[in-house]
Structure 1
């Protein structure tokens, strides 16, 4: 649930992404989500969908694709395993050779820190394997209630303006995501120093949220769609070329995302179009995504600048 315009690395004025500001290989400005909520987005982004109908194809998931190429697959999730907003995505995750769900119920049943994903991730990474490995870490991130997600962050942003207290939590949740990615990177670097195996990390969000005033307090939630729901971060960090920091502006559709992941993993398949998320070229077609975003009539709601309003 992380909107791109709340990331300092994408221009937000509060410095909440110190790691990503300097430690990326490629950053894409122009990635569009496959939907405005988790199931609607990820089932399109993590399968090769029927693009004419905007309908996911669960028999052509990113897990199926990786396994077809002999890649060992892992799915480690802090989202719920079952529930109205969880089960279809979990069905993709359960296809992995090993799937771990920290929360066996709905996402709201437990408030487990995303940092808890790091222990099983490290264990998997340290295990000896001759196979290439795809490890998917599904975080809660900036999901509502964002203030619950940041209770283990010592330097959370706070504001004297009570109407913006939730926005401060949301901005802090992006900082936590930055810290999480840094920890994933550091664990991977230590393993590379031992094994010599290179790695590549992709970070993206499933969708954003909309500002919504409730009892004189501005929240970010999913009550109704906003054009900003579709504007998501897409960042790649490669162990071999870290520090070159290419910034690309290109329109990329979430409906082509699994093809892009296949190219990232180096998979060649007669049924897989050659498609690069990181070539800096606008998609030749977005299958109506741009028109769908344009049709949203809710008022524009850009990120709220907390500069000068923080304690």
Structure 2
């Protein structure tokens, strides 16, 4: 004669199979099923049911676990791109289950010990662990709401490390503070709810044998240990690991600086082609989108000076230039060194254009309106420090007020004249957000398209005037040879997303690129101008600036030349099939071009 199971046994099996089928259902409906491990589903359902049995399936235990499971699932579904962020819904549920069951076990253990100190320690771990278990998905939900449903990326973490207080303040001033406040309020409210349920759980916790609880906790710990080596499936850990790898590479680049310079000095001496000797000026723009430039077909007159330059004999304005990344440090690290998206040169071994031009005999200048440092030394800091003369008009302190330093005053920082071959790099703040901080009130020329677009267009118009001022001064240098305007990346002001990598659009990497050669330079090397004009309608990414500058500056015996990536070479061969951005993770094509009609 069959006997029915006692109530706790029925509950055990009900919880076990409900949890298991929920996980399997999420796995089958998800798009990342290849990343989930089957055994984790069984372990999660078993652990949840067994620990639940020790709690006598108290209502507070079931409520708390249900809320946490819901939060973990919601943290995935609040991201539009959750299917591509490296963590599936079923994985989120299983990690939430593992953490909840492990930390709730400490509450059982605290009620089962008579030692006051041990009980206090157990309860501290219990409350703190459950709060952290709830905080993880809450942060994910909050970020998902504020970011518009985008996943946290390693690039964004890098941006935080490489941002100074002034930039951070400008960024926050542009963000929807209501959503930030709502997210923080939600985190606070749900944290209070979780703590309240944790207290109710503890009051309802039965006294169990410590040995049984410890055995279950040991099994949970072993399960966690077995899955930790495979934690690359866990999106947040994978993201942080990726960011740490990049930061370590930057640190290694700094450490290897002297080794690179010593290695360079041991190579055959570099020299300057006699036909190229003179002064060259590279202006590095900031957050400049060609989609908002009149010279590229934009309907607002934002570039009167560039419009005039476009018809000059020595000017080449390229039709399809792109940034190699939508963040300053990542983009310029490649643009100014021999490392690019298409070669296998380790970053730590990559010479910079400053290294080579200085070694060849150029007097090198770095004049910057960007902040001098952040929480982390970057390759740009290392590259610029190699210059013989460097000026940071914002100083090294990077206080918030520094970020509004008038760009036009940079012109006064330029040398009045140079009497030897020189390579001068000027790094602008350009159109970096907050856009309204980037121009004087007299340049508030546009209105009617929203505060972001209007302010951005005003900043583009002001930068155009700054470029004009710089050009008019340097063209009078004795033996002036060339002028280049090359931004680090583009911008997407319409969406309000600026150039955030976790909200990537191709507008964030569509940049302008202008090269001007003086009549003297063209007379000495007419083939350079000919090849630039020949290639101006081909795609080009700014990580190839190093290759172009080697040729323009006439540096001979350069240790690593890739002529197929040099715009002045007849063998230049980058095309739409090969062109990449975001450090090789995204493919460019003519479909990424809304318009590009040089006036």
Same fold (TM over 0.5): yes
Q: Deviations over 1:24-64 (max 9, x none)?
A: 41111122212110011000111111644686347501100
What does 1:260-275 correspond to in 2, within 5 Å? 260-273=548-561, 274=563, 275=565
CA distance in 2, matches of 1:58, 1:201: 28
Counterparts of 1:236 and 1:168, CA distance in 2:
28
Q: Which has the higher contact order (CA 8 A, sep 6+)?
A: 1
How far residue 292 of structure 1 moved from its aligned partner, in angstroms, is: 2.6
**DSSP 3-state at the match of 1:204:** strand
Structure 1 residue 160: deviation in Å?
4.0
User: Structure 1, residues 137-185: CA drift from partner, whole Å, max 9, x if none?
Assistant: 00000101111101x2513223245xx1121111111111111111111
Query: SS in structure 1 opposite 2:442?
Result: coil
- Aligned residue number for residue 317 of structure 2: 27
Is residue 463 of structure 2 the alignment partner of residue 177 of structure 1? yes
SS at match of 2:390: strand
Hey, what's the Cα distance between the residues in 1 that align with 2:485 and 2:498? 21
1:102 equivalent in alignment to 2:393: yes
CA distance in 2, matches of 1:268, 1:101: 30
Task: From 165, 168, 172, give the equivalent of 2:451.
Answer: 165
**Which of the residues 489, 501, 518 maps onto 1:239?**
518
Give the aligned partner of residue 126 of structure 1: 417
The secondary structure found in structure 1 opposite 2:356 is: helix
Given that 1:75 and 1:93 are in contact with CA atoms closer than 8 Å, whether structure 2 keeps it comes out as: yes
Distance 1:2 1:225 in 2: 15
Which one of 129, 135, 141 corresponds to residue 424 of structure 2? 135
Q: What corresponds to 2:369 in structure 1?
A: 78
Structure 1 position 4, deviation (Å): 1.4
Q: 1:198 aligns with which of 476, 480, 490?
A: 480
Moved more, 104-113 or 134-143: 104-113
Question: Does structure 1 residue 115 correspond to structure 2 residue 413?
Answer: no
User: Partner of 1:26: helix, strand, or coil?
Assistant: strand
Q: Which runs of 5+ in 2 are unaligned?
A: 1-286, 522-528
CA deviation string 1:243-285 (max 9, x = no partner): x995921111333220111111111225242353356954268
Q: How does 1:269-284 map to 2 (within 5 A)?
A: 269-273=557-561, 274=563, 275-277=565-567, 282-283=573-574
Is the helix fraction higher in 1 or 2? 2
Distance in structure 1 (CA, Å) of the matches to 2:356 and 2:578:
22
TM-score (norm 2): 0.43
The aligned counterpart of 2:63 is none
2:290 aligns to what? 4
- 8 Å Cα contact 1:2-1:207 kept in structure 2: yes
| Partner SS, residue 237 of structure 1 | strand
Contact 2:579 2:587 in 1 (8 A): no
The alpha-carbon distance between structure 1 residues 229 and 54, as it changes in their structure 2 partners (threshold 3 A), is farther
The answer as to whether partners of 2:338 and 2:560 remain within 8 angstroms in 1 is: no
Partner Cα separation in structure 2 for residue 257 and residue 75 of structure 1: 17
Greater Rg over alpha carbons, structure: 2
After the TM superposition, which of the residue ranges 280-289 and 10-19 deviates more from structure 2?
280-289
Q: Tell me what 1:220 maps to.
A: 498
Kindly state the Cα deviation for residue 84 of structure 1 after the two structures are TM-superposed: 4.2
Q: Is the 8 A contact 2:288 2:431 kept in 1?
A: yes
* Residues 154 and 254 of structure 1, relative CA distance in 2, 3 Å threshold: same
Q: Report if the CA contact (8 A) 2:499-2:508 is conserved.
A: no
Counting matched residue pairs gives 285
More strand by share: 1
Structure 2 contact 486–514 (Cα < 8 Å) conserved = yes
CA contact (8 A) 1:58 1:92 kept: no
Partner of 1:47: 337
Distance in 2, matches of 1:75 and 1:135, equals 6
